[in-house]
Structure 1
Amino acid sequence: MSRLKTDSLFYRLFSTAPHLLFELLGESPAIPYQFQSVEVKQTAFRLDGIFLPPASDPDLPIYFVEVQFQLDPDLYRRLFAEIFLFLAQNPRIRHWKAVVILARRSIEPKQKLAYVSLLESDQVERIYLNQLPPDSGLPGINLVRLVVASRRQAAKQARKLLTQVEQGEPWLPQGVLLELIETIMVYKFSESSREEIAKMLGLAESITQTRVYQEGKLEGRAEGRLEGKLEGKLEGKLEGRAEGKLEGERSLIVRLLTRRMGTLSPGVLTQLQGLSLEQVEALGEALLDFATPSDLDNWFTSL
Structure 2
Amino acid sequence: MSVRQTRKYTHKFHAPTTLKTDSIFYRIFQSLPSTFFELINQPASLAQAYQFSSVEVKQLAFRIDGVFLPNTSELPIYFAEVQFQPDKKFYSRLFAEIFNYLDKTELINNWGGVVIFPNRSVDTGATERYTELLNSPRVTRIYLDELTAIAASSIGIEAVKLIIEPESTATTKAIEIVNSARQQIIDAAQQREIIQLIETILIYKLPRLSREEMGKMFGLNELKQTRFYQEVFAEGKLEGKLEGKEEGKLETIPQLLALGLSIQQIAQALGLDEQVVRQAAQPKL
TM-score, normalised to structure 2, is: 0.64
Query: Are 1:50 and 2:31 matched, yes or no?
Result: no
In the TM superposition, what are the counterparts of 1:240-251 in structure 2 within 5 Å?
Answer: none
In the alignment, which residue of structure 1 is the partner of 2:192?
175
* CA spacing shift, 1:148–1:88, aligned 2, 3 Å: same
Asked whether the 8 Å contact 1:48–1:67 carries over to 2, the reply is no
Decide which structure has greater helix share.
Answer: 1
SS in 2 for 1:36: strand
1:37 aligned partner:
54
Closer/same/farther in 2, CA of residues 89 and 209 from structure 1, 3 Å limit = same
Partner of 2:258: none
Aligned-partner Cα distance in 2 for 1:194–1:87: 47
Aligned position for 2:82: 67
- The answer on 1:137 being equivalent to 2:149 is no
Q: 1:143-162 maps to which residues of 2 (within 5 A)?
A: 143-162=159-178
**CA drift at 1:163:** 2.8
Indicate if the aligned counterparts of 1:182 and 1:207 stay in contact, CA closer than 8 A: no
CA drift of 1:195 comes to: 4.4
Distance 1:139 1:14 in 2: 12
Q: 1:79 to 1:170 in 2, by over 3 A?
A: farther
Q: Which amino acid aligns with 1:16?
A: S
Q: For each residue in 1:53-91, what CA deviation from the matched residue of structure 2 results, as whole angstroms up to 9, or x when unmatched?
A: 11xx11211100100111111111101000000000014
Which residue number corresponds to residue 23 of structure 2? 8
Query: Partner residue of 1:120?
Result: 135
Root-mean-square deviation (Å)? 2.7
Runs of 4+ in 1 over 6 A off after TM superposition: none
Q: 1:187 to 1:86 in 2, by over 3 A?
A: same
Which structure would you say has the larger Rg?
2
Provide Cα deviations, 1:129-175, integer angstroms capped at 9, x if missing partner.
Answer: 11102664322111110111122221121122223223335688322
Deviation at 1:93, TM superposition (A): 2.6
Matched positions, count: 207
Partner in structure 2 of residue 185 of structure 1: 202
Q: 1:193: Cα distance to partner?
A: 4.6
- Provide the C-alpha distance between the structure 2 equivalents of 1:58 and 1:39, rounded to a whole number of angstroms: 19
- Residue 77 to residue 151, structure 1, CA distance change in 2 (3 Å): same
Matched, 1:109 2:124: yes
In the alignment, structure 1 segments of 5+ residues that lack a partner are: 211-303
Residue of structure 2 in register with 1:270 after alignment: none
Q: 1:45 to 1:152 in 2, by over 3 A?
A: farther
- Looking at structure 2, the residues matched to 206 and 6 of structure 1 have their Cα atoms a distance apart, in angstroms, of 27
How many percent identity over aligned positions? Answer: 43
Residue 18 of structure 1, aligned match among 33, 55, 74: 33
Q: Deviations over 1:28-53 (max 9, x none)?
A: 21743111123433446442400001
